[in-house]
Structure 1
Amino acid sequence: MKIKHYLLWNRHSKLQLPLLLFIYIKILAHPTITHSASTSSAAKSNTNNNIKTKYPHAATYEAHAKQYLDKASERMQHIWTRSRNSFFSLTTKGRGYNAVNQAPIKQEIENDYRHLVYALAMNLSTIPVMQLNDPILRRRVKRLAKLQLYGLADDDYEEAKNLIHTMQTFITTRMVCSLSDCQTTVAMVPTILNHAGRSKNLADLEYFWRQWRTVLADRDRAKSAFISYVRLLRLAASYNGHITPSRTWYLYYDTDNFQRELEDVVWEIMPLYKELHAYLLKCVRNTYGDKLNADEDAIPAHVLEQIVRQAWSPRTVFRTPYPKNQLPTVQQRLEEILVTPLKIIKKAAEFFESIGLNQMSDSFYEKFSRRIGDEDIGSDCRAEVFYFPPDAALRYCPKLDYKKLMQMHGNMAELQYNLYRGRLPFGVDSEPCPGFASGIGEAAVIASGTPRHLNRLHILFNNSLNEEQSMNRLFRMGIHTILAIPQYFINDKFLVDVMDGHIGAQELNCAYWGLQNKYAGVVPPMRRNEKTFDPDFKFYRGLNPEKPNTVKLLSEILGFQFYRAFCLASEQYRPGDPEYPLHNCDFYGSKKAGTLMKEIMEAGATKHWRDLLEIATGDRKLSGKGVMEYFAPLYTWLKEQNKQNDVEPGWETGTRCSKDYYSPT
């Protein structure tokens, strides 16, 4: 008797049962499956039989799985067709593709996709994966049988979406009184952050830091939304049969205690982080004097954010290694050479074509490349890549600058990945784990910003900087990268520890500051208690499972890990050779590097991410080796400077947070 397909094709199914109970009921209801259970002990007793005898119903399971997936693939093709049509209709000349007119269509497509994978997961969850002979089919079933928030019932899913939206508005809503009066209100992004990048007034920084959190503390606005959201994440985990909720958060990494592996990498780069932290702390002490609470070993959170915002600014609260030998200005030369944003896209495409990846045809530039409309540009417009196989499309930012040049290399890496994965069956036509594809893109971004590559583009006249300029560049990159990695980890660990019950609802705020103290040497600007909820704006941005802090952290780590591997393959990085350091490697034109990149892109999710990581890098685990080797000259310089300045790296300080401490916010 064939298992009915009523679940897969009932798009409005509202099953409320946890997944384990559902599976139990399905097993009892279907003679084919019950018969399998009743005869399995007899089959297993015959050790001389092959796998088909050991699992007598394996062929039946495979047939059912293929039927489900074939039907789902047909529906997925319709969804992709709608995505393609909406891209064309909304990007036609004279019709701007903006948040207002795209929202209803995107919502419809997202709802259709969600109902499809929800019903498909309910069907595939009854299939015993290990009894499937076909390894690709096994991967498809395993990846599609469990879901994150999509696995929630309709009402719970809508609540989760609303909570995510609410917490995202904390970042962009104007809700803090300006410095002059409350007639004008400002938002964290972009106004408050931009002010932090420009100002050297410590009182202003403290005001905005405190006031934003005061607004969020009103009626437990932020804390209650977060706790409600965690409840739904736990519910989604229960549908997957996960006793430990974080197993669902880390679902696609298929790794026991994945957070421990992330933590190991943080500790691997910690010696470099501590040296940079110590140097910067001395700098801001010199800038702010006693106002900074100079007796502390930690950097106040609002000052750390200011440092990060000023990473590439000409006016900073820190001292670059060689202030009299700053980096050359490239903007004017870039405008002269590249002329238009479209030329940036073509140069980024040329990078991947040079290493043997897909050629971008004239048809791509005519049909699948669209300019972002003026109404959507904003302060920092970002390109967007679309996936509707067999094609991929791009909406690009019309700005012409160095930052967009590097970002476009990451966008083009994603587009190349989409073209390769689009050739794979539905279910494995994705990256093997979240952050894997963006890690490849990050490797291309790093290469595109090197003096060697800028010289190839005729934007710089030399293929390397002098020693002092090179150190300044590494220093600013270190602020941008090294300071970010522990913060991504802290935000991720805090969420996961709350989900798993390691942090209780009555200790949220001080637990957060405990993590900031342990992994980053950061404290709040003033004493805090449990009446507030202090995570920064990046924490809220990373609560969406589609763009979590885990992915940001992994893309940074894998970016340098892949970059090192591609550079070794191209022989543009030769360890010990000062003429070919890692920080100036450009693997443009290397077919060997391209072969590695192409192989891991073409595989999609057909293999475990560790298998693909090993193909590219020779390692099966995440590693900070790429980061440490890239910044090795900076690490040496920082150690020498801190020693000369009699500065001891590290921190021994309190968290400035106590449950019973009273503070009039």
Structure 2
Amino acid sequence: MNFLRILIFVVLVVVSSCQQIPDDPNVVVEKFLNEVNEHLAVLYNNQIEYNWREEVTDPKQLPENIEDPIFETMDYIKGVASIVSKLKRAKVTNANLKRQLDQIPEPGYDALDDSEKMDLHEIIGNMSEIYKNVGLCSFRDRNNCTLRLIPEVQEIIDDTMNVEELKYYWLEWRDKTGSKSKYAFSKFVELYKKTAALNGFLKPSDFWLRDIEGESGEVIATLDKVMLILRPLFLQFHAFVRSALRLKYGPDLIRFNEPYPQHLAEKFIGSSYRDMNGDWTIDLPYPLVGLVNITAGLIAKDITTPYGLIETAARFYTSIGMPSIPQTFWIQSARPKFDVDERLMTCWSKTWKYYSSDKINLSFCPMADEERYTNMFEAVSDYYYFKSYRNQPTLFQEEPLPNFGEAIGKAMTLSATSPRFLEKIGMGGPVYSSYEGRINRLYLLGLRNVFLIPIFYVLDKYRVDVLDGRIENLDNCEFWKLTEKFTGAKPPVQRSHDQFDAPSKLLIEVDDNYSSPTMSIILQFQIFKRLCEKTGQYRRGDDAYPLDLCDLSGHKEIGPLVLNAMSLGSSKSWKEVLFTLTGDNQLDVSGFLEFFKPLYGWLQSINQLNKEEIGWVELNQCV
């Protein structure tokens, strides 16, 4: 069906609606939605095919001067926006139809006039360019100002023990980016507020969090509660990290009862990830026990290609009752990513869905190591997700909440990296299921998760408060108040109201929110806890079946439960889908806390033994 036919249909419906709504508006809405679903599937698939070709094809072999299909999609959504608005006011009684209407994307930035839209896209593009490619001057050679944050500066930070060098790069990054981006970000906020109003949102924050169903105040209140419940665990962990930093850098730099300097804490927490050379730099609680070396285990089992990783993940999923993935999929639909920077290790496998179609593609990395192992379990989870909801209308072929699919995939990786599962497949030993081995693993995962949640929370709380006018003029000191209060970190030098440090932590994409990723982290453990309870692999209060050792493999009752929830797509709210999967319809932090319970007990004991101070006096080092 061509675009002209759609437009004619829309015009007819508009004319009809201006005269009289039929006795049964459900009939008009259903016909309209059938047309929309059909046309959006074509537009979305064109976009996916365009992006897929760029992912797996040598740029020299790509056709020249092909326009990005995203613009046609945006034009279509903008074209139907007025009729969508009219039909939402009609007395539609069919809940399914009403939800489909609500799932039609808003015009977004296209609601702005052409000049404003051009300004906004230029602002976003320029800010992204600043963070990706700004040249930083070398600490050792101030005339060399060609260093990028990643990889050059990151490699220096990983290797250096020089405190002044660490502080220098912390300041150099913020000074080079903040001053350049403050005016642009201010302009972005102004245009974003206007965009929200033009799209029919009462508050800019409602537009910012529009993909999380519910008013923004409700979303923030939920995250406030999460932060409150996690606070005791975070305070114990913070005290331990501060003590470790004090041993390393001395009490003059790491003062008692104060927040720790952010630049030193970032380096310490970053040690929970492998450095650029693939080595661990982390000091574990029990170094003689260590961690399972999944990369070495893969090599020992001769799993040295992406196809080996795919087969390993596929066997796990079929063992829990998922249908087998046809061999033809790997041959016909899986392709290596073309542009891979092995130095940066930024290559990840990705599953590509097509709408209203059985077609699914997979792009993968030509590497087989620990990071790619866990990533492949998430990619295969996405394969099942996309297959499960393929019979839904196009408008429902989505997650009910951004990163909901990621939460399911990461719940599966918790099992795939469980010491018991790794021992079962010959990639670990019983020592890693011991108390010491468990604490080492939980310590590593805790650094990655317990400290990430407050950072994400601050990023979105600051921007929501800016958008709604509770923070004026992008006040830098308000950002540091939030940072100090919730993350226990302070700047290495005094900052001022006029500086602009917030975007330095916005992970480059200026218009992405961090509330849904925060919720996804909690959901990951919530889902994992429920699945482990159902299989009997986790039994509350039973030391023989703790949550962190849960291995779901071989439990075929899991697959149908997960597939049923996946099959709903976005036809139900995320709370309803969650209830189908877990029996809960609210975000529940108990899974997160139960998973890290052994670590929490260990932290309490070690902090009490060493008489560590818990918490900090807020200094507000910004004037």
| Superposed pair shares fold, TM > 0.5 | yes
1:508 aligns to 2:470 (yes or no) = no
Question: Considering only aligned residues, what root-mean-square deviation do their CA atoms show, in Å?
Answer: 2.9
User: Where do 1:535-614 residues align within 5 Å?
Assistant: 535=502, 537-545=504-512, 548-614=513-579
Distance in structure 2 (CA, Å) of the matches to 1:87 and 1:571: 43
Indicate yes or no: 2:239 matched with 1:286: no
> Would the aligned equivalents of 1:539 and 1:549 in 2 still touch at CA under 8 Å?
no
> Is contact 2:400–2:571 with CA below 8 Å preserved after alignment?
yes
Are 2:384 and 1:386 equivalent residues in the alignment? no
Cα 1:34–1:308 change in 2 (3 A) is: farther
Q: Show the counterpart of 2:290.
A: 326
Q: Which residue does 1:68 correspond to in 2? A: 32
What is the aligned-residue identity percentage? Answer: 25
Residue 253 in 1 paired to residue 215 in 2? no
Instruction: Look up the equivalent residue of 1:450 and give its one-letter code.
Output: S
Is 1:623 equivalent to 2:582 in the alignment? Answer: no
Letter in 1 for 2:498: K
The question of whether the paired residues in 2 share the 8 Å contact of 1:7 and 1:122 is answered with no
Question: For residue 20 of structure 1, what is the aligned residue in structure 2?
Answer: none
Amino acid in the other structure paired with 2:133: T
User: 1:519, CA displacement in angstroms?
Assistant: 1.0
1:556 deviates by 0.8
Look up the SS of the partner of 2:203 in the other structure.
coil
Aligned to 1:190: 151
Letter in 1 for 2:602: W
Letter in 1 for 2:138: S
Give the 3 Å change call, closer, same or farther, for CA 350–166 of structure 1 in structure 2.
Answer: farther
Aligned residue for 1:113? Answer: 73
Cα separation, partners in 2 of 1:69 and 1:35, compared to 1, 3 Å = closer
Change (3 A) 1:471 1:372: same
User: CA shift at 1:387, angstroms?
Assistant: 1.7
Contact between 1:97 and 1:372, CA under 8 Å: does it hold in 2?
Answer: no
Distance 2:193 2:33 in 1: 28
The answer to whether 1:226 aligns with 2:185 is yes
Alpha-carbon distance in structure 1 between the residues aligned to 2:452 and 2:272 = 11
CA distance in 2 between counterparts of 1:589 and 1:557 reads: 25
Q: Helix, strand or coil for the counterpart of 1:573?
A: coil
AA aligned opposite 1:352: Y
Moved over 6 A (4+): 5-8, 314-318
Of residues 70, 90, 96, the one that matches 2:58 is 96
- Give, as a single letter, the amino acid of the residue that structure 2 aligns with 1:387: K
Deviation of 1:8 after TM superposition, in Å, equals: 6.2
Instruction: Please say if residues 337 and 364 of structure 2, whose CA atoms lie closer than 8 Å, have aligned partners that are also in contact.
Output: yes
Q: Which residue of 1 aligns with 2:235?
A: 274
Deviates more, 1:481-490 or 1:168-177: 168-177
Partner Cα distance (2:74, 2:147) in 1:
36
* Number of residue pairs the alignment of both structures matches: 611
| Structure 2: distance between partners of 1:269 and 1:103 | 52
Query: Cα 1:224–1:6, aligned 2, differ >3 Å: closer, same or farther?
Result: farther
Check the 8 A contact 2:204/2:467 in 1, yes or no: yes
**2-side partners of 1:104 and 1:601: how far apart?**
38
TM-score by length of 2: 0.91
Q: Which runs of 5+ in 2 are unaligned?
A: none
Task: Give the equivalent residue in structure 2 for 1:518.
Answer: 485
Note the C-alpha offset of 1:354. Answer: 2.3
Residue 6 and residue 133 in structure 1: after superposition, are their counterparts in 2 closer, same or farther (change >3 A)? farther
d(CA) in 2 for partners of 1:192 and 1:576?
47
In structure 1, the partner of 2:42 is 78
Q: Give CA deviations for 1:401-454 in whole Å, capped at 9, x if unaligned.
A: 011101111122222212222221021111112121111122112221111221
Cα offset, 1:88, TM superposition = 7.2
1:382-402 CA distance string (max 9 Å, x none): 222212132221111111101
Displacement of 1:157 after TM fit? Answer: 3.7
1:185-584 to structure 2, matched below 5 A, reads: 185-217=146-178, 220-256=179-215, 257=217, 258-295=219-256, 297-312=258-273, 319-337=283-301, 338-373=303-338, 375=340, 377-380=342-345, 381-389=347-355, 390=357, 391-462=359-430, 464-505=432-473, 508-535=475-502, 537-545=504-512, 548-584=513-549
Unaligned runs of 5+ in 1: 14-25, 37-56, 659-665
Superposition deviation, residue 611 in structure 1: 1.0
Deviates more, 1:332-341 or 1:460-469: 460-469
Give the drift of 1:240: 2.5
> How big is each residue's C-alpha offset from its partner over 1:14-60, in whole Å with a ceiling of 9 and x where there is no partner?
xxxxxxxxxxxx99x85645645xxxxxxxxxxxxxxxxxxxx462x
CA contact (8 A) 1:196 1:305 kept: no
Q: Please state how far the C-alpha of 1:349 moved relative to its aligned partner.
A: 2.4
Structure 1 pair 628/176, CA: closer, same or farther in 2 (3 Å)?
same
How far apart are 1:10 and its partner, in Å? 9.2
- Matching residue of 1:170: 130
More deviation in 186-195 or 392-401?
186-195
Q: Secondary structure at the match of 1:176?
A: coil
Residues 401/313 of structure 1: CA separation in 2 closer, same or farther (3 Å cut): closer
1:272/1:635 contact within 8 Å kept:
yes
Q: Distance in 1 between matches of 2:423 and 2:113?
A: 55
Distance 1:432 1:114 in 2: 22
Post-superposition Cα deviations, 1:179-226, rounded to whole Å, max 9, x if no partner, equal: 222325212223323333333321111000001111124xx4211121
Deviation at 1:326, TM superposition (A): 1.8
- TM (norm. structure 1) is 0.85
